[in-house]
Amino acid sequence: MTSCRLLGLSSKRVCPFHTSAASWFWERDPKGGYLRDKPKPSRKDLIRDGLKELKTEIKLWKEEVKEHLRGDPILAYRRGEIDIQWQFNTPESLAKWVTTSDSDHNEGHSTCELKLSQGGKGLFTGDLNTQVPKVGRIKKAGYCNMRSIRPRKSFKRDAYFDWRMYTHIVLRVRGDGRSYMLNISTMGYYDIMWNDIYSYALYTRGGPYWQLTKIPFSKFFLTSKGRIQDKQNPIPLDKVTNVGISCGDKNNGPFWLEIDYIGLEFDPTHTESFAYEMYTMPKFIVGV
């Protein structure tokens, strides 16, 4: 079963994903081993860098205390209002995101970057290239990705986004007519959950006009390393770690996606918890 059948689509151009069973193999690190050759800093360097960041961490801790004492959070969720999570309008806001492509790991020739456009908005742009390097290690190439930095508390403590009170993710974008993939990561504690990503297609019209895209969380489907998993489940919205946008539609050439903001919305009329029907099957055998 392909992602086209899961989404009810007919175009192969927007369905580069494949299905596979859930992975139960041990993972070396959350980066899939790509950082294993990176030199480790010395203890002296770690102490020196830690002292430099002490002032910043104390300031972040103070903000945590203020947020905890800032009243009832239930009052913040109102129907029809969009709570902006990321606004792309300054160099500081773009620094909260990182871009990667196949060429970063010598696995392709694609390039990308995230910068400010002439209109002062975020511009995810680059060149997609599906040519496979002649190294004998890989069979496919051609992807570019932008991904938010994981939230954290003070003193380098990992944190999560808690979006349980929301029903939709909302994006104001202006694209080139390509189809992208919108990804939500829920990296868990155990290694078998490090690559859990929930995805859904992000379509752009092209042209000079902005579009407001509102996608229910119930429409996202579970993938791992680009493969749709046989066993599906809704997003654990209290464990969100990252949001990303990928370009990998197998069409060579330049691409661009201008982004104003990414936000969240609560719609009480949306009661769907999960869009895809699952059948009860014997143990270790699942169906969609």
> The domain that contains 87 carries what CATH number?
2.60.120.430
Q: End-to-end CA distance of the chain, in Å? A: 9
Higher pLDDT, 124 or 19: 124
State residue 15's pLDDT score.
46
Structure tokens at 263: 């936000």
For residue 84, pLDDT beyond 70 = yes
Cα 157 versus chain centre, distance: 20
The helix (run of H) or strand (run of E) holding residue 54 is helix 54-68
State residue 249's pLDDT score.
92
The number of folded domains in the chain is 1
The residue assigned the tokens 């939709």 is 168
In a domain, 33, yes or no: no
State residue 1's pLDDT score.
39
State residue 140's pLDDT score.
86
In a domain, 45, yes or no: no
In a domain, 19, yes or no: yes
SS3 153: strand
pLDDT digits (tens, 9 = 90+) for 36-83: 666 777 777 777 777 777 778 787 777 777 776 665 555 556 677 899
In a domain, 99, yes or no: yes
Q: pLDDT-derived band of residue 20, with 50, 70 and 90 as boundaries?
A: very low
Across residues 153-165, what is the average pLDDT? 84
State residue 262's pLDDT score.
97
C-alpha separations of 138 from 3, 25, 60, 141, 145 in Å: 22, 20, 42, 8, 18
User: For residues 249 and 12, what is the distance between their CA atoms, to the nearest angstrom?
Assistant: 9
Across residues 232-238, what is the average pLDDT? 91
SS3 41: coil
- The angle formed by the CA atoms of residues 10, 15 and 17, to the nearest 5 degrees, is 140
Q: pLDDT-derived band of residue 216, with 50, 70 and 90 as boundaries?
A: very high
User: For residues 177 and 255, what is the distance between their CA atoms, to the nearest angstrom?
Assistant: 9
User: For residues 49 and 40, what is the distance between their CA atoms, to the nearest angstrom?
Assistant: 13
| Residues of the domain holding 218 | 3-24+77-265
Across residues 176-192, what is the average pLDDT? 87
Cα 57 versus chain centre, distance: 26
Structure tokens at 7: 């989404």
Higher pLDDT, 242 or 21: 242
User: Which of 69-73, 106-110, 149-153, 229-233 is least confident?
Assistant: 69-73
In a domain, 89, yes or no: yes
For residue 11, pLDDT beyond 90 = no
User: For residues 123 and 261, what is the distance between their CA atoms, to the nearest angstrom?
Assistant: 11
Output the CA torsion 140→141→145→149 (10° steps): 70
State residue 282's pLDDT score.
74
In a domain, 241, yes or no: yes
Across residues 99-122, what is the average pLDDT? 94
State residue 142's pLDDT score.
92
Mean pLDDT rounded to a whole number for the chain: 82
**What are the b/e assignments for 160-186, b being 16+ CB within 10 Å?**
bbebeebbbbbbbbbbbebbbbbbbbb
Across residues 242-270, what is the average pLDDT? 95
**Which of 57-71, 143-157, 186-200, 259-273 is most confident?**
259-273
In a domain, 183, yes or no: yes
User: Which of 18-27, 53-62, 68-77, 278-287 is least confident?
Assistant: 18-27
For residue 253, pLDDT beyond 50 = yes
State residue 260's pLDDT score.
97
In a domain, 38, yes or no: no
